[in-house]
Structure 1
Amino acid sequence: MAVSAFAFALGVGASALATGALADSLTITPAPARAVVAEGTFKLSAATRIVVTKGDVEARGVALQLADLIRRSRGFRPAVIEGGPAVGSIVLTREGPAGEAYKLDIGPGGVTIAAAQRAGLFYGAMSLWQLATPDVAKGPVAVPAAAIEDAPRFAWRGLMVDSARHVQSLDTLKAVIDAMAAHKLNTFHWHLVDDQGWRLEIKKYPKLTEVAGWRHDPGAAARYPKYGGFYTQDQARELVAYAAARNITIVPEIETPGHALAPIVAYPALGTAAPDASKMGDWGVFPWLYNTDDATFAFLDDVLSEVMDIFPSPFIHVGGDEAVKDQWKASPKIQAKIKELGLKDEHELQSWFIQRVGQSLAKRGRRLIGWDEILEGGLAPNATVMSWRGIDGAIAAAKAGHDTVLSPHPTLYLDNRQSLSPDEPTGRGRVISLKDVYAFDPAPAQLSVDERKHILGVQANVWTEHMQTDARMQRMAFPRAIALAERAWTPEADVSWDDFARRLPAQMARLKVLGVTPNTVPFEPDPRMAEGEGGQITLALTAPLGVGEVRYTTDGKVPTAASPAYAGPLALAAGTTVKARSFVDGQALGREKTVTIDPVALQTRTSGQLKRCTSHVPLLMIDDAPAAFDKRAMFDVDIFNPCWIWEGVDLSKGARITARIGQIPFNFQVGKDRDGIKLNPPATPGGELEVRLGCAGERVAAIPLGDSAKNPALSTVSGRLPARAGKVDLCLSFTNKSLDPFWVLDRVTVKPAP
């Protein structure tokens, strides 16, 4: 991003604007700093012209972008002309505020977007496009008249996408950038290197992509072709230019000194210990670190030189996180280096390592940024800290006089699931909802006014270990990235969850226009059936986020804003079909849900509908077969304790239990914690599914798994449960002679004995 943008956002310019709540008739997101609704509307149609000053190339470029977005959303493209009458036109003028700030005046007679810099013109155009795109309808639109004065709260408004674990297409990344730009995010942090793969072409070291860009995933996936890919330097430059045209700076990340298995596999001399290429398909915290030889720094200098030739960003991210020091501790050569340098320990050695890398960046006029572990052992004066382990790193950095970006786990880690609905995509099992992201304040109260000047901004991270497809990545990123965008842009006094929720239907419509697949599950009715009285079944239809209201029908018709509103559990007869959908101010939000009341459905639970016995490391993860990611089963499991509970099962007459199960590799780098995972020994060669009354109670069944181990996909096993008085909690787990592979539940059916 331009230095002027930082200076403006952190200087007097942003505070010069008055603040005010966003008017109810406007649907701009992020909410602007000041908006006053006026009388009337501006009719935007195919006859509308966008006028720029003759010879203003930048303004013309913004005008063409606005015209193209209007074409995508409304179906017509306004003409862009240099000079001409302002009446009835959209006029772009430089007679406005500096930096990323803009003024937008909309009236029945025309529209003016005023900004001194291209960034401001672009953001004024994005606000106008949003007002012209309240839905997915085509044709002319009446844009509400308003006077808007706007500027960002923070200069760094970022989203990180991890392409090291799973490679996204260039078109997908462009769609993400489009969605970022439309919502005034301006920094795309591109995670290109990790243990699982090296994703950027480096011409001097071709093995980084020829070898380190590919891996064999473990388990059944090992029989499939190698997985991976990379971006050529031409592709990276194409994306850089695409982003820059949308006021987005791409900040590349080249991990050091840890998360380095992939490059060490390609060039073993870089490592402290011999690499194991078979572990590139694992997840977790790896022990492989770069060594501290001069040849290694020469390699990094060469790599970063090519990186800086591609990415003009003032910041280059060097990682620095999760560098487990075991290999350094065990290496006589490294220990001798620590002594030679007069350092205290391995933490100070990492600091020396990072600072030496930073010197290479400084020679090219670039600034080093890294995760908050770079604070350990001392930090170069011009280094910037990205705080991920909560906000403590940001507080420490700011108090020490370092610039910082807040990016704390878990709130801004978008690999966490967004609701408890079983329809959520794969990811981590902790719930970080859209509302949780919106509630995050990027300005810690622990900092003084002067210390807060070191907060450059805020960023959310999309780590893709469990996002195997582009669509899953987008669903995990959006719409939560939009909530982050509002907290990064809008003045704190004007932040309002209720108003943000009111604008959600328009936001979701725009994402569709931009080609982004958002997650709609948290807005949708989550049908839950339970036994009722008199042979009826009760149906609950609560939407996880509680946004808007749920409306439903029982006559087979599509629910509308005029359908009955859901007010509580419905008592329904078997065979009834219920259709339900959420609405906000009469506008549909999320998909329609259809459920047929069926007593048999009460007898089945998926792993996501069961209760986990523990939640040490809960994951929503997929099976390792078949080959296509989107055709694999999904499991909800605590990898440290694969155990599930079905509460309140009626065993008064005994029952027959049928379980659909899968086996997946334990490909998690968890260090010594692996030794603490306990397994019950099997009584048969294939192991058993154990069923207990409570996890510490009586074992009522041990169902042999038989030949299931030979099936790389899903298998089914069945057995009988004895009669027990009253309702009981069934605890389900597996016996196994080894942790890898380990067994997981897909779904369980318990039918009363005839």
Structure 2
Amino acid sequence: MFSYLILSTSSHYGRPPEILNLKRKINCAEFDSETARCTKCEENYFINPYGVCEKQKASTEKSTVNYDTQEIFSNPVHHHHDCDHEHGKHSNDIPDSQLPIIPYPNSVKLYPGNFTIQASTRVYTNLQGDDKALFLNYIYLEELPVSSTPFELEKNVIKLLLDDTLDMNDEAYNLLVTQDAITIKAKTTKGIFYGIQTILQLYQKYDDEGEIPCCEIYDSPAFEYRGVMLDVSRHFVPLEFIYKQIDMLAHFKINTLHIHLTDTGGWRIEIKQYPLLTQKAAYRNESDWNRWCNSGLDGHYNDTGTPGAYGGFYTQDQMRELVSYATKKFINIVPEIEMPGHSEEVMYAYPEYSCAGQPYVNHDLCVGNPDTFTFLCNVLTEVMDIFPSPYIHIGGDEALKYGWKTCPKCLKVMQDNNFTDFDQLQSYLIKKIEAFLDEHNRHLLGWDEILEGGLPPHAYVMSWTGEQGGIIAAQTGHHVVMSPSLYMYLDHYQDEFFAQPDARLPPRTLENIYNYYPVPDVLTPEEAKLILGVQGNVWTEFITSPSHVEYMMYPRAMAVSEIGWTQKNNKNYNLFMDRLHHEIQNLIAKGYFPHRTDNLYLNRQQSLVPKKHLALNKKVTYTAPYNPNYPAAGDGALVDGQLGGWNFDDGTWQGFYYRNDIEFQFDLTIDLEEITNIHKVAVNFMRQSEQARIYWPQRFVVSLSSDNVNWNTVLDETYDYVNTIYGLSLKKYTGDGVSAQYVRVQAKMFDDLQDQWLFVDEVVVE
């Protein structure tokens, strides 16, 4: 096998160890696929999120998750999705859509035959100087002589041709593969680079004999901004890991890496004028994000050098080297410095910038203090000296504004400017920062809350709360990057929760992400031109290790790349999945840890077939009403035969919120319309992670009656609180048979939890 074309940095990362399939780990003899639990192990009878029955975990083989390091692995890729072809041959009747390229090109034609890379193959390029050195350094052709003379060979040659007279986009390229030569033509070096990525993908697929199928490709991106955001504040990652991601993101034609450098979790970039930011606020005393947030105020942050402290930061020189490396891969790094909210770490290091003048009191910087602006401008000056990005992200999201309401300095600014609400005070800060960035020829980029109180004249908006912020911005003449959390938050579960490590709810499937299109229909053609592109965001509250980041990022970042590059009419999810399986194999071979897509749970199978039982479509009377935000199908939802899926938010689960004025927060009666012999009453309750606050009940009661007045309690059980396992809990009464017309089911929540939910999909009577 030839191996001439490789990514030059992938050799630093070895192949992953032997990998196992999560689904196959459910090896309890009594596993129940309806509830995803083990019915044999009575005390802890639910599998944990990683697929191992708690009671049997000690006796089973090693889990697929290392609980100490949270290193997550996948199992080897199956080959049943690969195109069948004769060894060393490529049929010209292979559909264009089967070329293994992500993101998929915009025009593809296949021809008979193939080009064979062999020891005598030469490279010709008309690139000069640094550009020539860059590409010859990036691609290396093992044991192949390299030619850069003006003499252009006709056969057995790979040509990289720059032609600035071509009428094409700066990132576009044309690729022609014949039996004699591979030719890439582009207007700029960006285009040459992206053409090489396409060749690399073709070579990785058809490398048995160094052969690449003959084809003609004309390609250019749909959007100019194709980004991924990495949150390094909640959980610090080593620089080597970021270099590694730059390699792969560039391979999939992502051209922007947005780094979330500052937040409450820690300040991650050296600022020479304010050394306490990293000396006092780059480390903390707890690695677990939720435990740290809930641990109280004292000792939240640790000084640099504190034994056992968790965190880290990047020096300015390290960031300059990273920027230089990314630039050679045609990736722009966008730094984010949060303001005015998410700034607790700043006010711990420099409490004079808080309204209270002390740490651990305020969430937002004091806008009424002129020194706050001096601080921010000085920080941004150093940041701009490191990052040449045309965009500087200033956050601007989720400012609570509590401290401003009682701060004399903030109130004076409001009075002096005739502001009528605190949104205008936030806008006051954003406008001043935008003016400062304008002076330095940079664009202010912020989350869509910067619309509150009025948008600065030249601001760029990153729309995350939905599309509406982006729509408003575009309609008022502002550039927009679409990043709605409903589609573009890559820290959500990507498959059903019981088969996944902890993540944000509800799930964001690969299909959900792939089918997103970032230009809303309501925009006019002129307004649509202001949509720069799309960005997927990897927040790390629940992601604690580098391999876990990769597991959440891939393959969903590949879907983001196709949203940003491939024209809408060329997208097809099923064909994308066909191409994806091979790319996942390549990721694993290069030492990455992607989520596998060939054994997805996706749907609870029982939810696909209506359940027939005695209470089907009978009248239901609620003593404790369901919450209007989660009604499912309304009053008849729990007797409609529709079992729920794995997601509480899929419209099949009815939700009940905690109330302390009633004993049973779930309480309903079903009229069977006639005396019936009842052998079973069963109710599914869902349990999801602490962030969702969805719990199983503390007490479950089933009562039967012939007249709806005199009740016979046939089941009254209480349960202990469990916070380490999730799934569906089937609470049920079974017996030899009781004659009754009315069935009453009740469930009591845990009084000491307060903020909690019960979710139910069906009351089954048999």
TM-score by length of 1: 0.68
Q: Please name the residue that 2:96 is paired with.
A: 23
User: Would you say 1:82 and 2:148 are equivalent positions?
Assistant: yes
Q: Please name the residue that 1:269 is paired with.
A: 352
1:44 aligned residue (97, 117, 142):
117
User: CA distance change for structure 1 residues 215 and 729 in 2, over 3 Å: closer, same or farther?
Assistant: farther
Pairwise CA distance, 1:454: 1.0
User: CA distance change for structure 1 residues 206 and 34 in 2, over 3 Å: closer, same or farther?
Assistant: same
1:409 aligned residue (485, 490, 495):
485
Report the secondary structure of 2:505's partner residue: strand
Contact 2:427 2:455 in 1 (8 A): yes
Q: Please name the residue that 1:155 is paired with.
A: 224
Where does structure 1 lack aligned partners over 5 or more consecutive residues? 1-20, 69-75, 280-285, 530-539, 545-608, 619-636, 646-650, 656-660, 669-676, 680-687, 715-719, 745-754
Report the secondary structure of 1:35's partner residue: strand
User: CA distance change for structure 1 residues 421 and 293 in 2, over 3 Å: closer, same or farther?
Assistant: closer
Pairwise CA distance, 1:316: 0.2
User: Would you say 1:111 and 2:194 are equivalent positions?
Assistant: no
Pairwise CA distance, 1:236: 1.2
Contact 2:555 2:594 in 1 (8 A): yes
What amino acid does structure 2 have at the position aligned with 1:434? L
Contact 1:51 1:86 in 2 (8 A): no
Residue by residue over 1:300-359, the C-alpha shift from the partner in whole angstroms, topping out at 9 and shown as x without a partner, is 111001100110001100111111122111223211111112323211111110111112
User: Would you say 1:390 and 2:427 are equivalent positions?
Assistant: no
Report the secondary structure of 1:316's partner residue: strand
What amino acid does structure 1 have at the position aligned with 2:113? G
Pairwise CA distance, 1:169: 1.7
User: CA distance change for structure 1 residues 175 and 22 in 2, over 3 Å: closer, same or farther?
Assistant: farther
Pairwise CA distance, 1:421: 5.1
CA distance in 2, matches of 1:33, 1:691: 59
What amino acid does structure 1 have at the position aligned with 2:172? A
User: CA distance change for structure 1 residues 50 and 78 in 2, over 3 Å: closer, same or farther?
Assistant: same
Q: Please name the residue that 1:172 is paired with.
A: 241
User: Would you say 1:504 and 2:504 are equivalent positions?
Assistant: no
Number of residue pairs the alignment of both structures matches: 584
CA RMSD in angstroms comes to 4.5
Pairwise CA distance, 1:234: 1.7
Report the secondary structure of 2:109's partner residue: strand
Report the secondary structure of 1:50's partner residue: strand
2:259 aligned residue (177, 190, 195):
190
Q: Please name the residue that 2:752 is paired with.
A: 736
CA distance in 2, matches of 1:506, 1:33: 20
CA distance in 2, matches of 1:78, 1:350: 60
User: CA distance change for structure 1 residues 179 and 60 in 2, over 3 Å: closer, same or farther?
Assistant: same
Report the secondary structure of 1:81's partner residue: coil
User: CA distance change for structure 1 residues 733 and 239 in 2, over 3 Å: closer, same or farther?
Assistant: farther
Residue by residue over 1:275-304, the C-alpha shift from the partner in whole angstroms, topping out at 9 and shown as x without a partner, is 555x9xxxxxx8433333111111111100
Higher strand share: 1
1:425 aligned residue (501, 505, 521):
501
CA distance in 2, matches of 1:368, 1:134: 42
Q: Please name the residue that 2:761 is paired with.
A: none
User: CA distance change for structure 1 residues 461 and 528 in 2, over 3 Å: closer, same or farther?
Assistant: closer
Q: Please name the residue that 2:107 is paired with.
A: 34
Pairwise CA distance, 1:151: 0.8
User: CA distance change for structure 1 residues 437 and 78 in 2, over 3 Å: closer, same or farther?
Assistant: farther
Pairwise CA distance, 1:77: 6.1
Q: Please name the residue that 1:130 is paired with.
A: 201
Q: Please name the residue that 2:171 is paired with.
A: 100
1:232 aligned residue (315, 318, 343):
315
Residue by residue over 1:367-422, the C-alpha shift from the partner in whole angstroms, topping out at 9 and shown as x without a partner, is 11111111122222211111111111111111101111111121111111112152
User: Would you say 1:524 and 2:540 are equivalent positions?
Assistant: no
Residue by residue over 1:415-468, the C-alpha shift from the partner in whole angstroms, topping out at 9 and shown as x without a partner, is 111121522232112121111111111111111111111111111111111111
Q: Tell me whether 172-181 or 252-261 shows the greater mean CA deviation.
A: 172-181
Matching of residues 338-357 of structure 1 within 5 Å: 338-357=414-433
Contact 1:614 1:638 in 2 (8 A): no
CA distance in 2, matches of 1:250, 1:377: 29
Pairwise CA distance, 1:728: 11
Pairwise CA distance, 1:273: 2.9
User: CA distance change for structure 1 residues 694 and 613 in 2, over 3 Å: closer, same or farther?
Assistant: farther
2:403 aligned residue (320, 323, 327):
327
Contact 1:413 1:462 in 2 (8 A): yes
User: CA distance change for structure 1 residues 355 and 541 in 2, over 3 Å: closer, same or farther?
Assistant: same
CA distance in 1, matches of 2:513, 2:649: 25
Matching of residues 454-533 of structure 1 within 5 Å: 454-520=530-596, 522-524=597-599, 526=601
Percentage identity across paired residues of the two chains: 34
Contact 1:289 1:323 in 2 (8 A): no
Residue by residue over 1:466-501, the C-alpha shift from the partner in whole angstroms, topping out at 9 and shown as x without a partner, is 111111111111111111111111112211112212
TM-score by length of 2: 0.67
Contact 1:52 1:63 in 2 (8 A): no
1 or 2 for the larger relative contact order (CA 8 Å, sep ≥6)?
2
Matching of residues 274-673 of structure 1 within 5 Å: 277=360, 287-420=363-496, 422-520=498-596, 522-524=597-599, 526=601
Where does structure 2 lack aligned partners over 5 or more consecutive residues? 1-93, 300-306, 609-643, 667-677, 704-710, 726-730, 738-742, 759-766
CA distance in 1, matches of 2:513, 2:603: 26
CA distance in 2, matches of 1:376, 1:653: 55
Pairwise CA distance, 1:116: 2.0
CA distance in 2, matches of 1:317, 1:239: 18
CA distance in 2, matches of 1:61, 1:300: 36
Q: Please name the residue that 1:692 is paired with.
A: 700
Contact 1:272 1:327 in 2 (8 A): yes
Report the secondary structure of 1:24's partner residue: helix
Contact 2:680 2:732 in 1 (8 A): no
Matching of residues 60-71 of structure 1 within 5 Å: 60-67=133-140
Contact 1:416 1:432 in 2 (8 A): yes
CA distance in 2, matches of 1:244, 1:725: 74
What amino acid does structure 1 have at the position aligned with 2:350? Y
Q: Tell me whether 56-65 or 338-347 shows the greater mean CA deviation.
A: 56-65
What amino acid does structure 2 have at the position aligned with 1:82? S
Pairwise CA distance, 1:689: 7.9
Contact 1:413 1:461 in 2 (8 A): yes
CA distance in 1, matches of 2:497, 2:310: 30
Contact 1:152 1:490 in 2 (8 A): yes
Pairwise CA distance, 1:268: 0.4
Report the secondary structure of 1:252's partner residue: strand
Pairwise CA distance, 1:729: 8.5
CA distance in 2, matches of 1:400, 1:722: 61
Report the secondary structure of 2:182's partner residue: strand
Contact 2:367 2:429 in 1 (8 A): no
User: CA distance change for structure 1 residues 354 and 22 in 2, over 3 Å: closer, same or farther?
Assistant: farther
User: CA distance change for structure 1 residues 691 and 106 in 2, over 3 Å: closer, same or farther?
Assistant: same
What amino acid does structure 2 have at the position aligned with 1:702? T
CA distance in 2, matches of 1:704, 1:168: 38
User: CA distance change for structure 1 residues 652 and 94 in 2, over 3 Å: closer, same or farther?
Assistant: same
Residue by residue over 1:180-217, the C-alpha shift from the partner in whole angstroms, topping out at 9 and shown as x without a partner, is 11111101111111122111111111111111112233
Contact 1:611 1:644 in 2 (8 A): no
User: CA distance change for structure 1 residues 41 and 59 in 2, over 3 Å: closer, same or farther?
Assistant: same
Residue by residue over 1:198-256, the C-alpha shift from the partner in whole angstroms, topping out at 9 and shown as x without a partner, is 11111111111111112233787779933211111122112211211111100000011
Residue by residue over 1:117-153, the C-alpha shift from the partner in whole angstroms, topping out at 9 and shown as x without a partner, is 1101000100111111127xx7642111111111111
User: Would you say 1:242 and 2:315 are equivalent positions?
Assistant: no
